[in-house]
Structure 1
Amino acid sequence: MVIVYRSNTGFTREYAEMLGRAEKIKVYSVTEAERSLESGTEIFYMGPLMAGHIEGVDQAVKRYQVRGVCGVGLSPSGRQVLETISRANYVPNAPIFYLQGGWAPKKVSWLKRRMVGMATKSLRESLQDKGSRRTPEEQAQLDLLVKGGSRVAFERLEAIRDWMKDC
């Protein structure tokens, strides 16, 4: 099995490369995979989330034997996020994972910045309204939404690494 990833701002690429080093498996961008891998190759696919959909997963499912999938997004990890992306992404007979990546507004188009701004407006406002009652986690999420930043961390790969050991 190899890792194939799509990345818009670098967070998914960072996770894919970390995972590849840790598990000693090859890592390919989607473009590299199209040139180097045969159709039907067993892969673990990683891609950024856009409106709950893992970008590129549909094409990966058509071309490769997808053994597992990971979406990388802006929200903190949790059961609700995982349930939402599991419903929105069809990947037959493969587990779906989620990792919080980050937000890099300067690396995306104005349209994506606008879409993320609209999608996160109510959350930003509710966090801002809490003022000094925000927990450290809530403050970190507000800072991420307003200023951007990375939440990529090797420790977040634990569930995927455990799953890979059982494959």
Structure 2
Amino acid sequence: MKTVIIYKSKTGFTKKYAQWIAEALSADVFDATKVDIDMIKQYDNIIYGGSLYAAGITGLKFITKNFDKLKDKKLVIFATGASPSSQRVIDEVVSKNFTSEQQKYIKFFYFRGGFDYKKLNFFDKFLMNLLKLKIKSKAKDKLTKDEIGMLSIYDRPTDFSLRKNIDVIVSYLQG
């Protein structure tokens, strides 16, 4: 079975996971900007990885707009984010990114990545500053765990990625 990993990474965490998966599966790996549908259709297993952006998976449109051409393949999507994994996060991401039809064909995984403010582009820095101001304006006793966590890592690069996290994808594709 021929496997490809395609990824879109803003700060490097998704790319890191994509490369680890490629090594573990002896698969080809490509930045999403360097692929087209004809290139991808030759693979049996297609893995797409993107970072989360307001619960949306960056670059996922490549897969969703070509879904009818890919649904007969084994489709795996993973997303990376700074938040710890929880069923609530996974359910929100799945419902926001995939139709009920797509959910029948796509296996989704979430991996905790990290946060590095310095690697964000100008617009993302602007949005993150707005988020930080919004969180800081709340009363301390009204902050969620995620908000407290975000404030604690905001000013320093933080990497939560672990190579062992990819084992679920590797097992899924080999099983």
Matches within 5 A, 1:15-26: 15-26=17-28
CA displacement 1:29-61 (0-9 Å, x = unmatched) = 112323981447441100111111101112223
CA distance in 1, matches of 2:163, 2:133: 29
Look up the match of 1:31. 33
How far 1:89 sits from its partner (Å)? 0.7
**C-alpha distance in structure 2 between counterparts of 1:124 and 1:153, whole Å:** 30
Is 1:95 matched with 2:107? Answer: yes
Unaligned runs of 5+ in 2: none
For residues 165 and 125 of structure 1, what CA distance do their matches in structure 2 show? Answer: 48
Q: Over aligned residue pairs, what C-alpha RMSD do you find?
A: 3.0
Return the letter of the residue paired with 1:150: D
Matches within 5 A, 1:65-144: 65=70, 67-90=75-98, 92=102, 93-119=105-131, 129=140, 142-144=151-153
Displacement of 1:10 after TM fit?
0.8
* Consecutive unaligned residues in structure 1, runs of 5 or more: none
Shift in alpha-carbon separation, 1:147–1:95, aligned structure 2, 3 A: same
| Higher relative helix content | 1
Please give the TM-score of this superposition, normalised by the length of structure 2. Answer: 0.76
Identity %: 23
Per the alignment, residue 145 of structure 1 pairs with: 154
Q: 2:59 matched to 1:56?
A: yes
Q: Give the ranges of 4+ consecutive aligned residues of structure 1 lying more than 4 Å apart after TM superposition.
A: 38-42, 120-126, 138-142
Counterpart of 2:165 in 1: which secondary structure?
Answer: helix
